[in-house]
């Protein structure tokens, strides 16, 4: 079957779902993703028949998906609406990605052995497992708990992740310490002058526990808390020597607070880089020379333990409940000898430097 006739076979359904202009874009992208520059001139129709068989089973609710703990999902029964076939979304979670990639899975079945294996499991459910070629094997379908790319197998009844997730109930909270000897915390989105952890920073929000831990420890070793929180623009709440970083829950009209974070709000952070940062006043001056325009919060001088909870709680919380992404509390002895004086603090507020 030629690419030309293949496109004609697809065109009717795609056009009805997306319009002619969008249909051309979708077909072009799919053709490139599936074949690159190697378009097969005599393409076998059998994979299309197998895809139709699997689709019918899914629409009928006869297929189970076992995520094996990845993305905090277990074994679930799924019933996909028929129109999912032409929904090429990648921003609606792991299950949506699974549906989106079924198409390319069958398009990549280019050998008779692959076709025969899939035909067998569809005709004989539960008797044999076959790996789903290319299915959910891209970086954009990695598990957000362990960071691994997820490969799946199929036995005619169940689509199952081949490897179990090491964090099926979520990542444990991550804690680290930041010294604040001046008694003044400086908050912001980031601080210039800190050598970044390139690998972890580039993949912030995509990789799992190991990479995230690497990033947090890297910045902490530089005296800076640089903590991922999504595009949330969190508030900083304080009570004595304890802090909560997150957002109070608002009603549907965003007018009233329905669940407030503990403590009193002392500042907030615009998260252009999807993180909030904090460091000691003197460290901030070393890095940037000035703290003009920064939020300054006076605290008891000492060491503060930061506990990152964003990942352990699964990202954003349920509607109607305050989201607490991280906490801070003072640990150990006070450092009164290094505390800035009231006069020094007033100078910093006015001039941005000591």
Q: What confidence tens digit (pLDDT) does each residue in 241-267 have?
A: 999 999 998 887 778 888 899 999 999
Find the mean pLDDT for residues 177-182: 97
What is the DSSP secondary structure assignment for residue 30, as one 8-state letter?
H
Which of the two residues, 156 and 203, has the higher pLDDT score? 156
Asked if 319 and 203 sit in the same domain, the reply is yes
**285-to-137, 331, 346, 348, 353 alpha-carbon distances in Å:** 45, 24, 15, 10, 7
The whole-number pLDDT of residue 321 equals: 84
Looking at mean pLDDT, say which of 20-24, 157-161, 234-238 comes out highest: 234-238
DSSP 179: E
| Residue 21 belongs to some domain of the structure | no
pTM for this predicted structure? 0.66
Q: What confidence score (pLDDT) does residue 239 get?
A: 96
Q: Is residue 267 part of a domain?
A: yes
Residue 141: the pLDDT is 57
**Pair 50, 76 in one domain:** yes
Measured CA distances, 68 to 105, 153, 163, 178 (Å): 20, 11, 7, 37
On whether the CB atoms of residues 94 and 67 are closer than 8 A, the answer is yes
Residues 195 and 332 in one domain: yes
Count up the domains in the chain and report the number. Answer: 2
Q: Are residues 336 and 282 in the same domain?
A: yes
The two structure tokens encoding residue 291: 């703290």
- DSSP H or E run through 125: none
With CA atoms as reference, report the closest residue to 311 among 139, 143, 96, 185: 143
Say yes or no: 134 and 211 in one domain. no
pLDDT above 50: residue 41: no
Is residue 157 located within the same domain as residue 215? Answer: no
| Closest alpha carbon to 244 in 252, 253, 234 | 234
Q: Which domain holds residue 122?
A: 44-161
Q: What mean pLDDT, rounded, does the chain reach? A: 77
**What is the chain's alpha carbon radius of gyration, rounded to the nearest angstrom?**
26
Beta-sheet pairing, 242-247 with 152-154: unpaired
pLDDT score recorded for residue 55: 73
Please, what is the angle between helix 112-123 and helix 46-59, to 10°?
30
| Distance between CA atoms of residues 69 and 64, nearest Å | 14
pLDDT digits (tens, 9 = 90+) for 115-133: 888 889 989 999 999 887 6
The yes-or-no verdict on residue 231 having pLDDT over 80 is yes
On whether residue 234 sits in a domain, the answer given is yes
pLDDT at res. 254: 77
- What average pLDDT does the segment 276-286 reach? 97
Work out the percent of the chain whose per-residue pLDDT is above 70.
67
What's the CA angle centered on 82, arms 77 and 87, to 5 degrees? 100
> Which CA distances in Å does 38 have to 24, 31, 113, 240?
19, 10, 20, 66
Q: Which residues pair with 295 in a beta bridge?
A: 187
In a domain, residue 8? The reply is no
Give the HSE-up count for residue 254: Cα atoms under 13 Å, Cβ half-sphere. Answer: 1
Half-sphere exposure for 44 (CA within 13 Å, toward CB):
16
Q: What is the mean pLDDT of residues 228-240?
A: 90
Instruction: Answer yes or no: do 264 and 340 share one domain.
Output: yes
Residue 39 lies in a domain: no
pLDDT of residue 38: 45
pLDDT at residue 329 is higher than 90: yes
pLDDT band, very low/low/confident/very high, at 2 (cuts 50, 70, 90):
very low
Tell the residue number behind the tokens 């450092």, with chain if given.
335
Q: Which of 85, 112, 88, 95 is nearest to 28 (CA)?
A: 88
């Amino acid at each position: 079957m030629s690419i030309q006739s293949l496109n004609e076979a697809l065109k009717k359904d795609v056009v009805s779902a997306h319009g002619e202009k969008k249909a051309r874009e979708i077909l072009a992208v799919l053709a490139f993703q599936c074949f690159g520059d190697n378009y097969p001139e005599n393409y076998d129709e059998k994979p299309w028949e197998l895809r139709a068989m699997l689709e019918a089973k899914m629409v009928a609710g006869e297929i189970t998906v076992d995520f094996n703990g990845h993305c905090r999902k277990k074994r679930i029964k799924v019933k996909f609406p028929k129109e999912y076939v032409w929904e090429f979304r990648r921003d609606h979670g792991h299950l949506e990605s699974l549906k989106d990639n079924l198409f390319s899975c069958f398009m990549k079945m280019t050998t008779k052995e692959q076709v025969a294996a899939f035909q067998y499991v569809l005709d004989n459910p539960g008797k044999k497992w076959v790996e789903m070629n290319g299915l959910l094997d891209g970086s954009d379908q990695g598990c957000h708990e362990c960071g691994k790319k997820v490969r799946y197998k199929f036995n005619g009844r169940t689509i199952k992740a081949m490897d179990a997730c090491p964090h099926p109930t979520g990542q444990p909270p991550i804690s680290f310490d930041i010294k604040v000897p001046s008694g003044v915390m400086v908050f912001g989105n980031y601080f210039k002058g800190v050598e970044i952890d390139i690998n972890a920073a580039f993949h912030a929000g995509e990789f799992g526990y190991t990479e995230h831990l690497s990033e947090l420890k890297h910045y902490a070793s530089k005296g800076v808390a640089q903590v991922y929180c999504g595009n949330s623009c969190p508030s900083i709440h304080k009570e004595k020597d304890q802090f909560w970083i997150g957002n109070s829950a608002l009603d549907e009209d965003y007018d009233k607070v329905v669940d407030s974070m503990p403590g009193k709000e002392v500042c907030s952070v615009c998260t252009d880089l999807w993180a909030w940062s904090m460091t000691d006043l003197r460290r901030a001056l070393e890095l940037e020379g000035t703290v003009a325009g920064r939020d300054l919060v006076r605290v008891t001088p000492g060491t503060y333990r930061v506990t990152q909870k964003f990942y352990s709680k699964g990202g954003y919380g349920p509607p109607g409940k305050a989201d607490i992404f991280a906490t801070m509390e003072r640990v150990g002895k006070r450092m009164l000898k290094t505390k800035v004086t009231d006069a020094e603090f007033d100078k910093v507020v006015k001039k941005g430097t000591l």
